[in-house]
């Protein structure tokens, strides 16, 4: 087992203290760059935020590891690592340090990726557009998971994360005095009817054994109690693991909107914004990694749940075989991801570094 020392814990504290939002990870990127130079790692390309680089061992094969670096807002104007990205990035930095010191001896070339803007699903595309996946044969990522027992590596067959799509609906009609609803179109009731009717899309139009979620997150309409507004807006998202499910949801949203157009004599527009498609683990990488974990004594489970959250790691998997590993951090007192009280329990860094060590030395 790798022994994490005070230097590595200080790195974790430093990265945690620099928490910055997506696309503004300037200090974090500066820190990573300084760290690399300190350990004589000079082959890298810096982006506006984030960077990627190589450890060239003259192998015919290149393995990539992605670590995300952005943080989340806390609601008071500050930012904090509420999704474990501080642990992901520190683990990769520690691995690079150990490689430079000869404590980890990879079998293949390593492409290290410190990715910005995962939380707004923009960073992976940036890395790819700047050549971050050129020459990569396999790519791996690790993400902390409060629902998996501490120290257990979760390796799920097939879809690991759902596809994520957002939508915006604009509704317009004729406003009027609330005392004379017959003289206008009641946008509030029309929107309410649409949302209630749409609750049956997943429950009655999708095969119940195929996971999917449809949620409405924001409704905006009206200015006063005695005015029926002439316009309104709805924001929502749906999650899916099959393209057929995605198509059904979009078609049914359109049908329900057309229904309220007829019933309430209003107009509408539906804007679909594709986010991510499902993250699907490669079967060959699953088999290889399980054999490595069995050989080296890494505790793992294949009994992990599909997450309906989105992940832009999916874009890397469209280029090379990919494996998304969950690292369990379930302990008493540990909060869910994105919770304002979320924290990384002691001992997690060592578990993460050991996972990367055995993969790099055995794959």
Would you say 143 is a known binding-site residue? Answer: yes
Closest CA to 320 of 280, 278, 291, 275: 280
What backbone torsions phi and psi does residue 71 show, to the nearest 5 degrees? Answer: -115, 180
* Closest listed residue to residue 313, CA positions, set 172, 91, 163: 163
Taken in order 331, 332, 334, 335, the sign of the CA dihedral is positive
CA distance 347 to 349: 6
Whole-angstrom Cα distance, residue 303 to residue 306? 10
120: Cβ–Cβ under 8 A, 6 or more apart, which residues?
A: 22, 23, 70
Q: Annotated binding residue at 119?
A: yes
Cα 236 to Cα 220: distance, rounded to the nearest angstrom: 12
74 is in an annotated binding site: no
- Between CA 70 and CA 25 the distance in angstroms is 6
- The token duo for 140 is 């791996």
Residue 261 burial by CB count (10 A; 0-12/13-18/19+): exposed, middle or buried? middle
CA 279-160-293 angle, 5° bins: 110
Residues in binding site: 83, 85, 119, 143, 338
What residues are designated binding site for Mn(2+)?
Answer: 83, 85, 119, 143, 338
């Amino acid at each position: 087992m790798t022994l994490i020392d005070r230097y590595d814990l200080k790195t974790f504290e430093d990265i945690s203290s620099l928490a910055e939002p997506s696309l503004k990870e300037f200090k974090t990127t500066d820190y990573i760059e300084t760290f690399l130079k300190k350990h004589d790692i000079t082959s890298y390309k810096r982006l506006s935020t984030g960077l990627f680089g190589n450890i060239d061992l003259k192998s015919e094969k290149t393995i990539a590891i992605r670590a995300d670096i952005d943080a989340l807002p806390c609601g008071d104007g500050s930012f904090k690592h509420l999704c474990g990205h501080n642990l992901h990035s520190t683990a990769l930095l520690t691995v690079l340090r150990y490689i430079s010191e000869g404590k980890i001896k990879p079998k293949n070339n390593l492409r290290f990726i410190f990715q910005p803007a995962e939380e707004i699903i923009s960073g992976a595309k940036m890395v790819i557009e700047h050549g971050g996946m050129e020459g990569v044969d396999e790519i791996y990522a690790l993400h902390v998971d409060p629902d998996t027992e501490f120290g257990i590596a979760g390796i799920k067959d097939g879809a690991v994360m759902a596809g994520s799509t957002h939508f915006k609906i604009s509704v317009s009609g004729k406003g009027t005095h609330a005392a004379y609803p017959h003289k206008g179109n009641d946008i509030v009731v029309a929107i309410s009817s649409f949302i209630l009717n749409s609750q049956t899309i997943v429950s009655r139009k999708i095969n119940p054994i195929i996971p999917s979620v449809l949620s409405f997150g924001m409704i905006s309409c009206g200015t006063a109690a005695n005015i029926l507004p002439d316009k309104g807006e709805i924001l929502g998202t749906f999650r899916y693991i099959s393209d057929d499910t995605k198509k059904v949801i979009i078609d049914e949203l359109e049908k329900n909107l057309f229904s309220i157009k007829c019933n309430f004599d209003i107009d509408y527009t539906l804007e679909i914004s594709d986010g991510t498609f499902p993250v699907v683990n490669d079967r060959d990488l699953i088999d290889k990694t399980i054999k490595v974990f069995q050989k080296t004594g890494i505790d793992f489970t294949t009994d992990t749940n599909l997450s309906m959250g989105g992940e832009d790691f999916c874009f890397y998997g469209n280029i090379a075989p990919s494996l998304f590993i969950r690292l369990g951090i379930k302990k008493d007192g540990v909060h869910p991801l994105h919770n304002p009280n979320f924290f990384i329990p002691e001992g997690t860094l060592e578990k993460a570094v050991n996972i990367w060590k055995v993969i790099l030395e055995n794959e």
